[in-house]
């Protein structure tokens, strides 16, 4: 089942932008997942995502004093542009669980 679009999600603590998430047309074989231990919160990946599914998450970590990012997997189209954009190799592609449309982590 296609998850409903999320609306009114802040893009970043540094902006007031919001977005409307449109359901994707088909489930990709892989979706992107941020390695939270490797993410520095630089936000380089955010501008490259064509479907705007990467959010900045508030909260300090040892590597990310301004917070890390997280990917909204149900709308990720698996294009890997964020993987190429990340200067810290902190984004991995996971096989998609067809039942949920999100990363198969098991
Ligand atoms: S793989 Fe593509 S669609 Fe998915 S988060 Fe990365 S840039 Fe966005
Ligand atoms: S480009 Fe990489 S290090 Fe920077 S916010 Fe995105 S995932 Fe984190």
Query: How far apart are the C-alpha atoms of 91 and 71, rounded to whole Å?
Result: 10
Domain 1-98 listed as CATH 3.30.70.20: yes
* DSSP letters for 43-97: -TTGGG-TT--EEEE-S--SS-TT-EEEE-GGG-----HHHHH-TT--EEEEEB-
Average pLDDT over residues 68-96: 96
CB 28 within 8 A of CB 78: yes
Domain boundary assignment for the chain: 1-98
Pocket (CB within 6 angstroms of ligand 2): 34, 39-45, 69, 85-86, 88, 90-91
Q: Predicted confidence band at 77 (pLDDT cuts at 50, 70, 90)?
A: very high
Q: How much is the pLDDT for 64?
A: 93
Mean pLDDT rounded to a whole number for the chain: 87
State whether the beta carbon of 49 lies less than 6 angstroms from ligand 1: yes
**Could you read off the pLDDT of 81-92 as tens digits, one per residue?**
999 999 999 999
Please work out whether the CB of residue 34 comes within 6 Å of at least one atom of ligand 1: no
């Amino acid at each position: 089942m296609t998850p409903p679009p999320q609306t009114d999600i802040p893009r970043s603590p540094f902006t007031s932008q919001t977005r409307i998430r449109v359901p994707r047309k088909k489930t990709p074989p892989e979706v992107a997942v941020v390695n939270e231990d490797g993410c520095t919160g630089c936000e380089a990946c955010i501008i490259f995502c064509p479907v705007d599914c990467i959010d900045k998450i508030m909260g300090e970590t040892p590597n990310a004093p301004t917070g890390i990012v997280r990917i909204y997997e149900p709308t990720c189209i698996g294009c890997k542009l964020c993987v190429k954009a990340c200067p810290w190799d902190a984004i991995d592609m996971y096989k998609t669980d067809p039942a949920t449309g999100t990363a198969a982590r098991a």
